Homo-oligomer: A and B are copies of this chain.
Amino acid sequence: MSPKPMTRPGGRSARVQESVHAAVRELVGETGREALTVPLVAARAGVTPSTIYRRWGDLQELLSDVAVERLRPETDPVDLGSLRADLDAWAEQFLDEMASPPGRAYIRDALLGDPDGTNAGQCSAYAAEQIDAILSRATRRGEAVPETERVIDRVVAPMMYRILFRPGRLDAAYARELVTNALDRP
């Protein structure tokens, strides 16, 4: 179990994390994932390989941490004036991002180097936070809303399952059908 700080540590520790993550992103962009090694990442980041092994355990755990950072949503869900419109837009964008080649690679990396499930749980927490934000906004508008866990089960889970296990139709109309199922039955 390597330590995986979910709140960014301060000081030197934060600088090491940032430079190592940046080195991974640069090297993946330049040479691809297959050619990546801990010594290469260390040299680019200006740290020793043992710093990386001590903090992340191995390359897979480092890639998992980098992937979770990349899967962190960068903006609040867009406000389109109604629950239905907001959830449709969010689900379509989520599916678009997660089913893209980089999205699939990040999901895979996040799961692979994550023996205790911390990073997978963080990915799911990101989705839940975005859904919470949409539902809270709808509640403030006076709309009736389902529970967050229901939206996870009915919208997020089918999309992620199909991305990982069952290739097939993954388009905007599919995302909207899932939203219908989450909203129509209380």
Bound-state Cα–Cα, A121 to B66, Å: 26
> A12 in the interface, Cβ–Cβ < 8 Å?
no
Contact with B along A165-186 (1 / 0, CB 8 A): 1111000000000100100110
Instruction: Check A164 for interface membership: any CB of B closer than 8 A.
Output: yes
Interface pair A165/B124, CB less than 8 Å apart: yes
Q: How large is the interface on A (under 10, 10 to 19, 20 to 34, 35 or more residues)?
A: 20 to 34
Residues in B whose Cβ lies below 8 Å from that of A185: 181, 184-185
Contact digits for A114-150, partner B, Cβ 8 Å, 1 yes 0 no? 0001001101100000000000000000000000010
Q: Are A156 and B161 in contact (CB under 8 A)?
A: yes
Contact (Cβ within 8 A) A165 B123: yes
A162 within 8 A of B: yes
Residues of the B chain whose Cβ atoms lie less than 8 Å from the Cβ of A149: 168
Contact for A157 among B112, B162, B167, CB less than 8 A:
B162
User: Do residues A161 and B152 form an inter-chain contact, with CB atoms below 8 A?
Assistant: yes
Cβ 8 A contact of A161, one of B108, B112, B117, B160:
B160
- Interchain residue pairs A-B with the least CB separation, the first 8: A157-B161, A124-B165, A153-B158, A124-B166, A157-B158, A157-B157, A120-B165, A160-B161
Identify 5 residue pairs between A and B in the complex whose beta-carbon atoms are under 8 Å apart, listed by A's number: A111-B111, A120-B166, A121-B167, A153-B158, A153-B161
Interface residues of chain A, those whose CB is within 8 Å of chain B, are 108, 111-112, 117, 120-121, 123-124, 149, 152-154, 156-158, 160-162, 164-168, 178, 181, 184-185
